[in-house]
Amino acid sequence: MRLIVVFQPQFQESLLHSNQAQIQLIADASDPNTATTVTTYASGIINDYQQEINELAKVPYVIKPEVRMLYNPQLKGAYNFVPGVMAMILILISAMMTSVAIVREKEINTMEVLLVSPLKPLLFIVSKAIPYIFLSLVNVITILIVSVTILDVPINGNLFLLMAESLLFIVTAVSLGLMISTFTRTQQEAQMISLVGLLLPTLLLGGFMFPIESMPLPLQIISNLVPSKWYFLIVKDVMIKGLGFSQVWKDSLVLLGMSVFLLTVSFKKFKIRLQ
Amino acid sequence: MKKLLVILEKEFRQVFRNPTILRMVLIMPVIQLIVFPFAANYEVKNVLLSIVDHDHSDYSQKFINKISGSGYFKLTDYSPSYNKAMESIESGTADLIIEIPEGFERSLVKENKASMLLAVNAVNGTKANLGGVYATNIIRDFNRDIQMEWIRFPKFNPQPTIEITSSNWYNQHMNYKLFMVPGILVTLLTLIGSLMAALNIVHEKEIGTIEQINVSPISKLQFILGKLIPFWIMGLVTLTLGLIVSRLVFSIIPIGSIGLIYLFGMVFLFTLLGVGLLVSTYSETQTQATFVSFFVMMLFMLLGGLYTPIESMPEWAMWITKINPVAYFIDVMRMIVLKGSTFTDIKVQFFSVLVLGVFFNAWAVINYRKRS
């Protein structure tokens, strides 16, 4: 039970005779968000009812607000959730898959073979990453098909732009995975770091669960380091609002910068010798 | 029993000789629990506001002062036209447009009514809804001020008025941290518990040491228990650290009994580790185990009721929450910490999790085979 509605004694008499009556709403605020929503709904219904009673009486000087919900007139949660879940799944899966796959070579000792072969480290890293980039793109397509067909979330913008931005984000995530793999030794470590270290930050600081602008300033600053935040903004702009590249180039530049940085670091740290 | 102790010794040694894992289990959750509750806040503040004022009158100025002084809105720009304001919405520098039409004051005074347009960026439905409600309330307030100015109300209300008062129980000040900290603690426990358990047996399979265990004279039950108990104890350590953090950092003191939290935590960990071990017995490689447990965990967590209330989920998702230990634990944590519930209040959740735990663990024992 979430809400109790308490009518004062002799509610009807009081309302009819002295023109005033009280209703008390008691909400279970152990979940504050639900409590606020439920109280707002109930107050809205009571106000509507009151207006119905007052239909006949004319009140002067009325301002009538006309509310227009842009982009999402039915206030569907999916419009926000689809971009959010896309950002989260892509970064977790890409980073985790890449880091685990590379560390696996170390753990089962096939790394040695690769390192003594005439293969350049760069080539090794790139060829490790490409299959996962491809797989993640398949992921994006699946999510988009599900969101259009089952969840009724339209793709209002340019599909190619959306795919290109997704590719950029996947590259960032894969680079992150590469970096994790350079300082871990076992698959278990790699997996722990990519999951425990990434899941909550992306979920909480990515901007889709909780509004970033209500967070304390240090966290607002930290949230800029979370790649999924930028991708989330891009997907919302391109997919839901239908905007073009001119609106998202700054966010894309941030992602590009992050990828370059992560790749440089992991390439520098990639050891060609076994300890 | 003696055999079990030997296996336990082996498992504990393995755990303690891997500093990275130990660090992940002990330090990471504490840091995350300290930092993230500050981020987890649904409260909508600083809604970015763009105003299109075609009227430039006394009243429109008064209204703008009122709404920008309310604390919920941050006035970012005055736009000359609606289309210009739409550009700010597109670029993300505004969340809400208020358009005051030309002749607003005149028609309010002369024709007794006037209109105002609110356009909200509704990509995030919840946020838009709240922003819209705040703005409408401020308009209603403003409207009342004007009416008071013009009409002298008689002693008795001229028309029936219902006065609404509301109160928030269990969490009077609507403190989000009270609500989020127990939930985040459960999330962290879930992450760590299910991952460790899922990877452990597979790790032995992959590096080949499982063969030695298979030929040694221990039973399947002893083997699974030997895997379960160390992680179970580590999970309880994490839980203890979490409760200490919530006490010291967030001054959250459970109204109910701490013993009850532990009792439920023990059963919860038993179930969670059972799921992990089950995944482990089915998988051949660690990569495989990672993905299966990742999938299960995401499902458990997103449908756990921490981020979105279970009541507003579709029916199929509500059914999943019936077999979701995470949803039960989050629910029970809140009940004990915020409402001071006793065992009678949580017995349904308790026995549901216990039954799930016995089921998953038994399945894991049966499914583990001592031959390759």
Pick A247's closest partner by Cβ from B39, B91, B163.
B91
Q: Report the chain B residue with the minimal C-alpha distance to residue A74.
A: B125
A196 contacts B39? CB cut-off 8 A:
no
- Nearest chain B CA: its distance from A268 CA (Å): 22
Q: Is B346 on the interface with A (CB under 8 A)?
A: no
Whether residue A31 has pLDDT greater than 80? no
Q: Is A140 on the interface with B (CB under 8 A)?
A: no
A79 contacts B113? CB cut-off 8 A:
no
pLDDT tens for the 372 residues of chain B, in order:
788 888 888 888 887 877 777 777 788 888 888 888 888 777 777 788 888 888 888 888 888 888 888 878 888 888 888 888 888 888 878 888 888 888 888 888 887 778 888 888 887 777 777 788 888 888 888 887 777 777 665 555 556 666 667 777 776 666 777 778 888 889 888 888 887 787 778 888 877 888 888 888 888 888 888 888 888 888 899 899 999 998 888 888 888 889 999 999 999 999 999 898 888 888 888 888 888 888 888 888 888 877 777 777 778 878 888 888 999 998 888 888 888 888 888 888 899 999 999 999 899 888 887 665
Which pLDDT does position A162 carry in this prediction?
Answer: 92
A189 contacts B206? CB cut-off 8 A:
no
DSSP bridge partners of B75: B49
- Lowest-confidence pick of A68-72, A101-105, A125-129, B164-168: B164-168
| Residue the block writes with tokens 């930092």 | B35
Highest mean pLDDT among A35-49, A124-138, B292-306: A124-138
CB count in 10 Å sphere of residue B313:
16
Q: Is A3 on the interface with B (CB under 8 A)?
A: no
Q: Is B40 on the interface with A (CB under 8 A)?
A: yes
Instruction: Name the B residues in 297-316 with CB < 8 Å from any A CB.
Output: 298, 307-309, 311
Which pLDDT does position A174 carry in this prediction?
Answer: 92
Residues 6+ apart with CB under 8 A from A160: none
Q: Is A39 on the interface with B (CB under 8 A)?
A: yes
Whether residue A142 has pLDDT greater than 60? yes
In A, which residues are within 8 Å of B59 by CB distance? none
B371 versus A137: the higher-pLDDT residue is A137
Q: Report the chain A residue with the minimal C-alpha distance to residue B141.
A: A63
Which pLDDT does position A185 carry in this prediction?
Answer: 82
Whether residue A95 has pLDDT greater than 80? yes
- Residues B271/B273/B276/B282 CA torsion (nearest 10 deg): -80
In B, which residues are within 8 Å of A40 by CB distance? 133
CB count in 10 Å sphere of residue A137:
15
Which pLDDT does position B120 carry in this prediction?
Answer: 87
A195 contacts B294? CB cut-off 8 A:
yes
Whether residue A169 has pLDDT greater than 90? yes
Report which of A237, A195, A265, A257 is spatially closest to residue A83, judged by C-alpha positions: A237
The predicted model gives A90-111 an average pLDDT of 84
If DSSP states are collapsed to H, E and C, what string results for B161-183? EEEEEEEEECCCCCCHHHHHHHH
B157 contacts A19? CB cut-off 8 A:
yes
In B, which residues are within 8 Å of A77 by CB distance? 125-126, 308
pLDDT digits (tens, 9 = 90+) for A198-226: 888 888 888 877 778 778 888 889 889 99
| Residue the block writes with tokens 């016995």 | B358
The predicted model gives A13-24 an average pLDDT of 79
Q: Is B195 on the interface with A (CB under 8 A)?
A: yes
Q: ipTM of this complex > 0.90? A: no
Report which of A70, A215, A8 is spatially closest to residue B176, judged by C-alpha positions: A215
Phi-psi region of B116 (alpha: psi -120 to 50; beta: other; left: phi over 0): beta
Q: What is the 8-class DSSP label of residue B38?
A: G
Which pLDDT does position B67 carry in this prediction?
Answer: 86
B203 contacts A192? CB cut-off 8 A:
no
B166 contacts A39? CB cut-off 8 A:
yes
DSSP bridge partners of B117: A66, B99
